[in-house]
A = this chain, B = another copy of it.
């Protein structure tokens, strides 16, 4: 379970409640992990059962509104996290992308469809890039490591975009009927 350590890590900064944790992961690490409520609340429960975190405060408002349940790290949780942090990562980087998955097989479909999907991707990543650039000031107030990783995200975004431009232009230049896949592929 990876989200487990993300939660333990975040609680080093300050005590947080479930909604806040989800929000934070989404906004700051969204390109790495996706989280959903189902996962957050069950993880919070299992971490509590394991003794790694504990309910530190419950903030209730007078008018029946939902309570905020704040969790904090226990000493055991801090130890567990430290142990994990110095371990070598179990796996290599994995790039999961339903667009790229289609891309490899574009030769088996229509060129117009492929071009349309590429344009969509360009739009998406142009937006993301400008959003990220606008957030630079946010990152600057964070620690150096968080900062460095934000830079990597930005660089990667730029690399991917320029690759998309190149691919689009190369495809536009090929005549409509031209075969764009080698039928005698060696597998």
Closest to A187 in B: B13
CA of A13 to CA of B187, assembled, Å: 8
Minimal beta-carbon separation of A33 from chain B (angstroms): 7
B85–A93 CB distance below 8 A: no
Closest to A20 in B: B187
A155–B159 CB distance below 8 A: yes
CA of A151 to CA of B163, assembled, Å: 9
Closest to A94 in B: B96
- Complex interface residues of chain A between 1 and 59 (CB less than 8 A to chain B): 2, 5-6, 9-10, 12-14, 16, 24, 29, 31-34
Minimal beta-carbon separation of A187 from chain B (angstroms): 5
A145–B93 CB distance below 8 A: no
A175 at the binding interface (Cβ < 8 Å) = no
A105–B85 CB distance below 8 A: yes
Interface size on A, residues (CB 8 A): 72
A33–B96 CB distance below 8 A: yes
- Complex interface residues of chain A between 87 and 129 (CB less than 8 A to chain B): 88-110, 113, 117, 120-121, 124
B93–A93 CB distance below 8 A: no
A136 at the binding interface (Cβ < 8 Å) = no
Contacting residues, chain B, for A167 (C-beta < 8 A): 148
Minimal beta-carbon separation of A115 from chain B (angstroms): 11
Minimal beta-carbon separation of A99 from chain B (angstroms): 4
A165 at the binding interface (Cβ < 8 Å) = no
Minimal beta-carbon separation of A156 from chain B (angstroms): 7
Given known pairs A32-B96, A110-B86, the reply for A104 and B159 (CB within 8 Å) is: no
Interchain Cβ contacts under 8 Å between A and B, 16 examples: A2-B101, A10-B187, A13-B185, A24-B187, A32-B97, A33-B96, A81-B105, A86-B113, A88-B117, A89-B99, A93-B100, A94-B96, A106-B145, A141-B185, A142-B182, A144-B182
